[in-house]
Structure 1
Amino acid sequence: MAPFCHNRTNPQDVWYVLMGIPGLEGLHTWISIPFSSMYIVAVVGNLFLIFLIMAERSLHEPMYLFLTMLASADILLSTAAAPKMLAIFWFHSTDISFGSCASQMFFIHFIFVAESAILLAMAFDRYVAICCPLRYTTILTSSAIRKIGIAAVVRSFFICCPFIFLVYRLTYCGRNIIPHSYCEHMGIARLACDNININIIYGLIVALLSTGLDIVLIIMSYTMILQAVFQVPSWAARFKALSTCGCHICVILMFYTPAFFSFLAHRFGGKTIPHHIHILVASLYVVVPPMLNPIIYGVKTKQIKDRVILLFSPISECCQN
């Protein structure tokens, strides 16, 4: 680090260069085609899902209200990263100011932690629906759902705010190339010429005590759900109960699997996993789950599927006439 320290700069004066997907620069134009398509589907699909749930009073139930929160988070997550990513792929617009980079970093981490909390709330919803069905409406009232949503946002804000201070406290010495398609905490911190142990430790604490704790609680919820389901004598009743959890389990796997792959690859797989694979997975992560979530719930959830068919049936009738 010593060769860089003669040129110390204030964070406000730093401009970064986002490389996109290192090693695949020649394919950026081709890569942009599926990325832009997935981003459009993610935004349109989630907006449509929110509209459908808000417009249909029969869908004003806890499960669907939590789904509205998830869809909103998906739109924000993909929009925080995808437009700049596509600008890099299409127009080679790689420059980004420190302030813009820090803002993007904050919003991506903030939305990720909030979405993790929403998935935990959805697991709690399924637990109450299956294990305490008679108390479902009294436990998950509109007021309780609103408080859970606010708590998810407030928790995420206080967890992620220190990331801003941690990157602003560092001194930067001229290195400004980020081998990534968007800004994230350790990508910025590793360009500093200061000791970044605090950044590393805090990043691990956040991963373990927020997202990691959410996963543990989700697993506990589904363990109790399975115990309750397999105490039911009827196989038809068991299948019906488990089918209500199928969509949520798919969404959980899509959300956490690439995130933990990226987390582990970033810290332990530097020599075994090609860097461009790591960045490609991290880039796909901000568009693929947001794209697939409304499709999964639209196809697998009977109430939503019926409402979609009902909504578009007048259009098909008009076309036939």
Structure 2
Amino acid sequence: MSADTRTDSPPYLQEGGDFDRDMDYLPDRITRDARRPEHGPDAPTRPVEPGRYHLVAARACPWANRAIIVRRLLGLEDVLSLGLAGPVHDQRSWTFDLDEGGRDPVVGIERLQQAYLARDPDYPKGITVPAMVDIPSGQVVTNDFPWITHDLFHEWQDHHRPGAPDLWPADLRTEMESVMDRVFEDVNNGVYRCGFAGSQEAYDAAYDRLFAALDWLEERLTGQRYLMGDQLTEADVRLFTTLARFDAVYHGHFGCNRTKLTEMPVLWAYARDLFQTPGFGETIDFGQVKEHYYRVHTDLNPSGIVPRGPLVDGWLAPHGREVLGGKPLELD
């Protein structure tokens, strides 16, 4: 699993071999005036303050990739700094080996683990990205990835760029949350259920569930440009980060090999449409993605050999989805 150093351990398999993702993250929220948020867990809050927080992410990780995209779409670059860990971590932590001297230039740490231990010297869980770090204290605030992007939209609106997209339309929220739930359970996490299945039965069930969901998405997107219709929303961000990695790692490395993304015509065109949208494709580094999965998951790939393919030129090919209309983004 990309976002979590806990993933290769058998204790994270349920009885029967089903992969069990631990969703118990640091629940703190960063909200406008430290108010109690309307949605989500009732957790400690800290106030939104430009320049106070540092988003630590990794281009290799799909969960962190969401936060990178949303930050860019909303124009938060000047108020929320971004630190990028390298693609390969050990059992202790993500590291900043891409930065000069191997240190994050904003917080000054070599390992993301240091921000977790600054908050809790006995922190018992995995060191995950994305993570929001409080710069003055050097402490991690939250690593609860679904709520990080949710709050970047809802709680940081005073700092959004002019014309920032409405990623959470109020009139679509109920349906959107239902769509995102299935995308998460069957696709985002579904590929991991295949890759880390501990039995043939668990793998077969995960495989069938994944491709049933992809077939459902193929049908849903046939007559509309985005998951929720004409408007790009966070639902598209969440699906995109899995599709972008599908042929490069999930198809082979995780055994999700009924069909490549490039063999699903609607989803492939949809993914190219998003890839070519400002704020999306520029966040993808296929080299880092492959290096992470094939080198970190030593139980799945003991040799550590990183495949040279697949070719990625097709991501820039015309997608033809303009005929469906919609409201494509324009960023400065």
Tell me the TM-score normalized by structure 1.
0.25
- TM-score, normalisation: structure 2: 0.25
- Structure with higher RCO (Cα < 8 A, 6+ apart): 1
Structure with more helix by fraction:
1
Structure with the higher strand share, 1 or 2: 2
